[in-house]
Amino acid sequence: MLPAWRSHVLFVILLVVLGGLLARGIYLQGIHNDFLQQKGDARYGRVIDINAHRGMVSDRFGEPLAISTPVESIWISPQDVEATPAQISQLAQILSMDADDLKKRMTDTSHDFIYLKRQLPPEVAEKVVTLGIAGVSLKREYRRYYPGGEVTSHLLGFTDVDDNGQEGIELSLQAQLGGKAGSHRVIKDRRGHIVEDVASLRAPKEGGNVALSLDNKIQFLAFREIKQAVEQHKAKAGSIVVLDAQSGEVLAMANWPSYNPNNREKPGTNLLRNHVLTDLFEPGSTMKPFTVAAALELGKITPATVINTEHGVYSVGGRKIHDTHPEASLTVAQVIQKSSNVGASKIALMMKPEQFWHSLNEDGFGASTGCEFPGEAAGRLRDYKKWMPIEQATMSYGNGISVNLLQLARAYTVFANDGELRPVTLLKQDGASVGSKVYSATTARAVRDMLEMVVRPGGTAPLAQVVGYRVAGKTGTAHKLEGGHYVDRYVASFVGMAPASNPRLIVAVMINEPSGAEYYGGQVAAPAFSNVMGAALRMLNVPNDAPLDNVMQPTPADFIREEV
């Protein structure tokens, strides 16, 4: 039998221990319960992100160009995974994964959240669910789909696996299209299955829809024709842009070669580039109308002024300028019609360098178009203070200046709108655009009349004629500059507008390095222009301003070739 004092001591010790446990319990459960709460949450609760639905991109009539469709992604919490070897083998087969690699990822407890496979079709996700593997869950995501595929790829760009814009419109309008992800808290059972949604911590904010200025039908037409032109003339590449001459809206923009943005295998960098905006080239003779317009505005010439074209050879500062078709003299209108380099040079040299530069600058050369497309190249217009006379002369016919194709098309709005340069946009506009006045209406109309002569027999682009419509435009055939020297590779181009009596559309075509027997702008680019312009005007129900038998087929003697 124990002494009485020992039993009393033992009783006191038990009371102290019990009191300590009670105090600790009160402290943890009532006063400082953060630790246990965190451990419980980690074991039985989880905060899951809720992806926001990305906004739709449509053409001007609401036709979808880019849409996000719901898909399922498979994720795991390795601490909760309980799977037999047979289940792992079945899961690997469904997900097209290596079984050993899958097992390694499922046992990697250093991570709380691991994606196994993303953006699966519903039927594949359903097969995963039927396996009933603890710790394997589904997450709703969205995959971007482009109905037009390669037809609109360079303009739209694409998104990554997280639905964030990577190129083109998808990148430039990411803030508007992307929205904001939300989150909610869930409770899991001991096998890792989600059994209850506890609370919505933050509701997702859906992305906004965007309506582009694009006309889907005209876009398809432009893409088809530029592809055909490139393949027919065995060219390196080609680009085309269609502008609403009055509003400045881009109705079509296409390149070939192209790529399919629905294919997640990323193509080469060069194939991703929207060459209409990101690539610069010397525009060649498509610059001559701006030279003539500047001199007309200053009163240096009139359309009837006779220029001594020196039988096709003119020396400036010891350098010779040549015409493909030598003439003793030409009127200013004929300089445009027959694309005389000598005539354009002499007209440019009538002006002070500052006057010529100022006119080109007001036409938008040397500056971005303002369309805010990612990676747009601004072009190059050198400071007039550094010009030599030969540089001023050659700039008159598009050498020593660089442009992108949209910039060149935009510049032609000055001739379509009685001397007013219109802003360009890739987004649908509800009202008329307001531009800046560059030339008087008299000057702009005079140049437009000259540009009409270009597409008639005796000009450089009779193949640009369009049935039922008067056309005004200009060809360009420029040697490419490589290593500081011009080589026998060409950029063939044509920019034109119709109906010439009241222009509705401007179409610019550029063919890079045609390698067939034909390489002049009037042979290579003008036919593509004619096909696109004619079909687009009919689609838009633009009234005819010429009889339906207006097209005059040129004879070989009527076809004037040019080269700079």
Q: Is 419 helix (H, G, I), strand (E, B) or coil?
A: coil
For 408, residues 6+ apart whose C-beta sits below 8 A from its C-beta are: 283, 286, 493, 495, 508
Give strand pairing partners of 143.
Answer: 69
434 phi, psi to nearest 5 deg: -115, 125
Check residue 512 and give its pLDDT: 97
Residue 340: name the closest of 442, 454, 246, 468 by CA.
454
Residue 524 · residue 502 · CB < 8 Å: no
Is residue 285 annotated as part of the catalytic site, yes or no? yes
Strand order in the sheet with 250-256: 250-256, 237-244, 505-512, 485-498, 472-482
Q: Is 118 helix (H, G, I), strand (E, B) or coil?
A: strand
Residue 165 · residue 210 · CB < 8 Å: no
Question: Cα(281)–Cα(489) distance, rounded to whole angstroms?
Answer: 12
Residue 456: name the closest of 365, 529, 555, 540 by CA.
555
307 phi, psi to nearest 5 deg: -110, 130
Domains of the chain by start residue, with CATH: 47-81+112-211 (3.90.1310.10), 216-558 (3.40.710.10)
Longest alpha-carbon distance in the chain: 141
Pairing of strands 57-58, 210-211: parallel
Start-to-end C-alpha separation, the chain: 123
Give strand pairing partners of 196.
Answer: 187
Check residue 201 and give its pLDDT: 59
Question: Cα(292)–Cα(283) distance, rounded to whole angstroms?
Answer: 16
Question: Cα(296)–Cα(299) distance, rounded to whole angstroms?
Answer: 5
Question: Cα(505)–Cα(416) distance, rounded to whole angstroms?
Answer: 9
| CA of residue 215 relative to chain centroid, distance | 15
User: 441-454 vs 288-297: helix axis angle to the nearest 10?
Assistant: 150
Q: Where are the beta strands (DSSP E) in 213-292?
A: 237-244, 250-256
Q: What's the DSSP call for residue 459?
A: B
Check residue 189 and give its pLDDT: 53
pTM for the full predicted model:
0.86
User: 341-348 vs 288-297: helix axis angle to the nearest 10?
Assistant: 40
Q: Which entry of 68, 285, 359, 530 is annotated as an active-site residue?
A: 285
Question: Cα(150)–Cα(560) distance, rounded to whole angstroms?
Answer: 36
Question: Rg of the Cα trace of the chain?
Answer: 34
User: What is the amino acid identity at position 197?
Assistant: D
Q: How does pLDDT run along the chain (564 residues), one tens digit per residue?
A: 556 667 767 777 877 778 777 777 776 666 666 655 565 555 555 666 677 889 999 999 999 999 998 888 888 878 878 888 888 888 888 888 888 888 888 888 777 788 888 888 888 888 888 888 887 888 888 899 999 999 999 999 999 888 899 999 999 999 999 988 776 565 555 554 554 454 555 677 888 999 999 999 999 999 999 999 999 999 999 999 999 999 999 999 999 999 999 987 777 778 999 999 999 999 999 999 999 999 999 999 999 999 999 999 999 988 999 998 899 999 999 999 999 999 999 999 999 999 999 999 999 999 999 999 999 999 999 999 999 999 999 999 999 999 999 999 999 999 999 999 999 999 999 877 889 999 999 999 999 999 999 999 899 999 999 999 999 999 999 999 887 788 989 999 999 999 999 999 999 999 999 998 899 999 999 999 999 999 999 999 999 999 999 998 877 666 677 766
